[in-house]
Amino acid sequence: MADRSRIRSTHILVLRRRDVGDADRLLTVLTPGEGKLELLAKGVRKTMSHKAGHLEPFMHTQVLVAQARTWDLITEVSTVESFRYLREDLDAIGRGAYVCELVDCFAESGDEARALWDLALFALRELDGAAQGGAGLPANLLRWFDLQLLGLAGFQPQFFHCVACEAELEPVLNFFSLHEGGVFCPRCGPLRDDVEPMDAATLKVLRYMQSRSWGEVSRLQVRPSITRIVDNILNRTLSNVLERHVRSTDFLRRLEHVRRES
C-alpha cells in the first residue's frame, strides 16, 4: 500500500492528455490549490479500467494523488461534473476546447489558482447548460471569457484611459495599439505609427464586456460587424500576449464558415 502521508485529495479540470507507454495516459490538469499539474493515470487505456470514464477532456473530477518520482499518480477518481453535453455538439466541443486551451496557456504550475479555476468552470457550465437546453451557445461568452482571463493574468487591455496621457477616453475615434495593450486618445494616437483606428461603438462594446458581469453581458446585442472587429482584436491580443497562435480558434472559424455556407 502507498504511504498515506504521500497521498492528497484534489479537484481537477482535465485540460489535455497524451498517451504514455502501452496503457498509461499523462493528463495536464488545472487544480484550485496547486495550479496546473501533470498527473499520470496508470493503466487507464486498458479495456477494464474504471478510471477512463472519469478523466475525459473538460471533466471536473475529484482525485486522490500519490506522490511519485517523475509524475504524481492518480490512484482514485470520482466525477464531480461531466459536462457531457459539451461532447454532443461540434460547436460546443470547439468552445470547450478553446476555454481549456487558454486556461492551459495561462495557468502556472504550483501556484494557487482559485480565480482561474472558478472562471474556467463557470464558462464550461454556461456552455454545457446551453448545449443541454438546445437554446444555442451563448453569443458573447467567449469574448467575455477572453477579457476576464486577460485581467486575471495581468494583461488586461486598457480601454478606459489613454495609455500615454492617462486621460479618460471619450466616445469618439480613438487608436488601438496591440503592442501597448490599450487605446490612445485622439491627441496621442496620431503621434504613433503602431496604432489602428478604433471607432466609438467597438470601444463601447469592449469596455462593457471587460467591466460587467456575465449576467449583464449575456443580454448584450452586438451588430455582426462589431462582433467581427472585437473578435479580431481579442484574438490578436491573445496571440501577442502568448507569443503563439491559439489553435482552437481555427476550428471555431471553420465551424462558423460551415454555418454561413449551409
Query: pLDDT 10s digit of each residue in the chain, 262 long?
Result: 445 558 999 999 999 999 999 999 999 999 999 999 999 999 999 988 889 889 999 999 999 999 998 899 999 999 999 999 988 888 889 999 999 999 999 999 988 999 999 999 999 999 999 988 876 778 899 999 999 999 999 999 999 999 999 999 999 999 999 999 999 999 999 999 999 999 999 999 999 999 999 999 999 999 999 999 999 999 999 999 999 999 999 988 888 777 777 6
| Global pTM value | 0.93
CATH number of the structural domain 4-81: 2.40.50.140
pLDDT of 1 reads 43
Distances (CA, A) of 113 to 11, 43, 98, 116, 128: 12, 29, 19, 5, 22
C-alpha cell of 69? 518520482
Do 237 and 230 form a contact (C-beta atoms < 8 A)?
no
Distances (CA, A) of 10 to 4, 65, 80: 14, 8, 11
Distances (CA, A) of 143 to 16, 19, 91, 109, 214: 22, 32, 15, 25, 10
Do 175 and 164 form a contact (C-beta atoms < 8 A)?
no
- Cβ count within 10 A of residue 175: 23
Domain ranges for the chain, please list them: 4-81, 153-262
